[in-house]
Amino acid sequence: MTKRSDEAPRDSLRITHVLAPGEIGGLERVAVGLAASLRSAGHDARLVPIVEEASHTLAHPTGTSGVPVHPIVLPPHSYLRESVRLRRLLQELRPDVIHTHGYHADVVGGLAAWSQGVPVVSTLHGFTGGGRKNRMYEILQRSFTRRFAATIAVSRPMQAALSPLYPPNRLRLIRNAWCNGQPLLSRDAARRKLSLPMSGLVIGWVGRLSREKGPDVLLDSIGRSRRNDYAVSFVGSGRLEAELRGRTSSLDLDDRIRFHGAVPGAGSLLRAFDLFVMSSRTEGTPMVLFEAMAAGVPVVTTDVGGIPDVVSPEEAVLVPSEDAAALATAIDESLDHPDARARAARAEKRLHGECGVDAWVEAHTLLYRSISRPRSKTSF
């Protein structure tokens, strides 16, 4: 029998966050950061990761910032068994609200929540687009989340795009917040961690090596750049890695491009870079952008999704998506421009002024209270 603490105040909420984590990325960091922040505010927030291996980082409290974790470990494509396991777990945890993250959790968590009569809310972290399989997943996700008590869009463009598809008052805008992740390493310490030389210009890129993140666009822009005095570090792994390595060789850039693979705690290493680049084709509100702003690193980014909600041309250089020539020009000008560091300082100031945790937690708490059922006196 899973035990839960009864030490929380009577007016606190019990929130169970459900996710099917992959490689630790923005969705996973948002879920963990939100759960941890809710607990700091006095609520009983817990995580239920649906994983294929018990060794997954989020299957243990050491990987969840101390948030209690109740992993469901099953082989791939065990959706019915996952829903049954989750339903039993919910009977023990007795949450006031279930909060799902990602299409897999939306489906499995939605079925389990409905069977228990528990209100469910989903955060839509972004849509990857791409092939038929991904589009089918997104259609299924929208079909489920339209029936939830509430659905959260993390940016104004996402909210505007989804509004015609959702019942009135069920789609809410709550932007992501900066949760103060791991302590930032100094430039030299971060470069040592990445085995980079102490001198010389290095551009950083961090994310999944997948089409929606646009690593190929950055790679093509390097070939168009008028400068050849900088190196590029790709931090992350994904299905495009082999293709990108082949492209690097065909562009004769092997001596300037490094693929580091997935690096734990990559957000703490961003001071290693003289410029941080995001070349995404689509985004929600990316956590790695917050991390670059916190590190005080100049940013060049595509103006997709919620990114213009977070930074303006005063704080970063924004370029159109999939425009390698414009990206190359922006990189060159940023490395040349004496105001690049001042722009980064403005971005850091905006981050701390507008993306704080307190307002983020309050917005979620108000939403949870608006959809949760009155708790009976015998529920404790």
What's residue 112's pLDDT?
A: 94
Above 60 in pLDDT, residue 206? yes
- Residue 305's nearest CA partner among 281, 287, 276, 289 is 281
For 234-244, the pLDDT digits (tens) are: 999 999 999 99
Spell out the residues 6+ positions from residue 269 whose beta carbon is closer than 8 angstroms to its own.
Answer: 185, 190, 193, 194, 235, 263
Averaged pLDDT, 352-377? 87
pLDDT tens digit string along 7-31?
Answer: 555 589 999 999 999 877 788 889 9
Residue-level pLDDT at 274: 97
Q: Which has the minimum average pLDDT: 27-31, 88-92, 117-121, 132-136?
A: 132-136
Res 127: pLDDT? 67
* pLDDT given at position 299: 98
Grade residue 5 by pLDDT with cuts at 50, 70 and 90: very low
Is residue 305 within 8 A of residue 126, CB to CB? The reply is yes
CA nearest to 338, candidates 298, 295, 278, 293? 298
- CA triplet 83, 158, 315: central angle to 5 degrees? 125
pLDDT confidence tier of residue 136, bands split at 50, 70 and 90: confident
**pLDDT at 316 (0 to 100):** 97
Summary mean pLDDT of the chain: 90
* DSSP secondary structure code for residue 304 in this structure: -
Question: In the prediction, which pLDDT does 65 show?
Answer: 82
- What is the distance between the alpha carbons of residues 118 and 373, in angstroms, rounded to a whole number? 8
Q: Report the pLDDT averaged over residues 177-200.
A: 92
Mean pLDDT of the 151-158 span: 91
**pLDDT level of residue 373 (50, 70, 90 thresholds):** confident
Query: pLDDT tens, 293-306?
Result: 999 999 999 999 88
Is the pLDDT at 1 greater than 60? The verdict is no
pLDDT at site 376: 54
Mean pLDDT, rounded, for 34-45: 96
Q: Stretch 34-47: mean pLDDT, rounded?
A: 96
User: Which residues are bridge partners to 302 per DSSP?
Assistant: 319
Give the C-alpha separation, 154 to 158, whole Å: 7
The 8-class DSSP code of residue 98 comes to E
What pTM value is reported for the model? 0.84
Domains in the chain, please, with CATH?
14-177+356-371 (3.40.50.2000), 187-354 (3.40.50.2000)
Dist CA 197 CA 253 (whole Å): 17
DSSP states along 39-94: HHTT-EEEEEEEES-TTSGGGSGGGTTT--B--EE--TT-HHHHHHHHHHHHHHH-
Segment 218-272, tens digit of pLDDT:
999 999 999 999 999 999 999 999 999 999 999 999 999 999 999 988 989 999 9
Q: What is the pLDDT of residue 4?
A: 47
pLDDT of residue 180 exceeding 80: no
Q: Say which residue, 139 or 223, is predicted with more confidence.
A: 223
